[in-house]
Structure 1
């Protein structure tokens, strides 16, 4: 199939290209990027007035399958990703059963091949059953196709065991994704510890639980040489610890989620469980620090931590409701609104954090629009203003605090390996 994209503003951080260009795709690959291409094609997209960027990459997604298909499936999660402009997503291992064996990795890969509309890369757990006791066979999981290891949703509290996992990950040349939370300091907390939690009578979850583990994992990564990726940094102290590590030249990267740079604990109410996530929404001071971290490059990845839950699960008392919100279909718009429209980030810097930087972390040949590369491409209307409506989501779940928010910037086309998945803002199939 031949696809021609004309007149779009091509923004490719990998090559620092920002110019009006035409792009010719033949079958799965980009074959030309020129000022003007006049050829017949099976499909022509007029991208005038739109941004044409590399397909977005999300390194932190919960697809819930196997085991929790009432929340999300590989099929519905991949469609949600496509609607958000993501062409590659990494799924976390806290499924049932846990992604701790070759068989479960193969299950996810087979399901992806048959049902997913975007690229899905599985992340393996660090310990068997995520019980924190026995290390998985990292080498075998890597051979089966994982892109990294993580105990996401939990933390490996045994530092000696984590160090051994890091050594094996280093040998296999894969990153360790760290969910930073000291279990001994959490003690049933449900929102950020502070005056707001006290006023609501909700048990608080302090910053120290996150920052202690960030510090520990940075030290272990320094001693093992592994590529450490800090998931969902949410505190000012976490940003500072990350910045200091980078200044020392350590092999550490960090991500932030849109909800942590767009919202604060002020929106939390007892009857609003879609404001409950882990790590929790913090203070304005933390948000400011996160934004500064994005500006100065301390935080180089924007990820969603897409965490779908059934409405009945969220419709409980605040302390009983599960942590997490969906994010795949709102991330780009929230980022465009909070970071680009406010001129905190340039378009190039913003797109970089959702394309080439995640690709470099994963060590995959994606995240760029260059001749010879796979044609994973996202086209967005940077000026379109709309109101987020969770009832239109392709995800099985709609647990989002952004329902009704007015945002700027919408995905119009998502192209995966040369195939149009989203066309004019709608799923094609």
Structure 2
């Protein structure tokens, strides 16, 4: 089953989309893990839309199904995506997402289901609200408790001269909306900065910001991420935008996941629930901003040698999308481009893979899943341990309040999946926690 989960993580986000001048369609792609060869086979409709994607295991020329994704489209866009796993020749329901549109063709709701006893069980829903037909003013996230929808979180959009000016985040406490945080967008011809502020004890506190630096020809030169230490801004990391001899935009840098950035959702993006690692590398084709990057998944059974991911790239005036497939093998990142069989190798810093693997051997969180919401952090390190726990939408649910604590208490939280950011000295970890009651 772990093997199936790894494979599902690797290919859930793999899809092919057309480019304006030439159709780049992934028909099939082979990839190897531990001497086992898998093939991804894609089928399209007459509009170059991906309608099915099969993953088969190749055993001496005798294929065996492992996973299947099915999609359907209306004149407005994608209406559903259903993902299945194969077990003993049976197609087992895994996950499903449905999209509905209003009379103006705008996305009105996104509903997610999990496969339970081979039936679809509704889990959560996002509602989209509009002002007229162009500006989105609100997104509201609900969860289903078995009998009715419960409000969970909300995003409010504010626009200034048709430019996004601010996003505010609310969480529902006893069905009353409570402010949580704000993203402030600053423009001067281009987007210059995005500042994130969080509500702490009913006061707005600056947390981090991203600065965008452009060349004289208005091309994005680099992106600098900073954190507020209470007195001034300190540099955290930097993404440098360059170009290869083929003219493809290249980004090579360490990055830290900001879970609130996953709230950027459109009808063209997925919410991948396997994004659990904090360290990685970007490589982009005609990319504008990394905020358009989604669906990062890490192999949960062999983190040392396999990091698989799919990226969305929005580049030209028609907002066409191109996706690449990345795998790390022997400290090299291998990028396979669609049907033209071009393979690009980029050398990866050795510590970015091996160090991540070594660090994870120093920490264990148990029991996970937890029946009551208590988790214990076990580590061989003698340094202080600090942690913060977020929902999958990025809202803070619990923290150690600055004390050295090895006990995580989520007894006040509803059952579901959470992400724990744990710091031990200079080492940082992101671990998915499951609460079943």
Same fold (TM over 0.5): no
Higher strand share: 2
TM-score, structure 1 length as denominator? 0.30
TM-score, structure 2 length as denominator? 0.30
Q: Which has the larger radius of gyration?
A: 2
Higher helix share: 1
Q: Which has the higher contact order (CA 8 A, sep 6+)?
A: 1
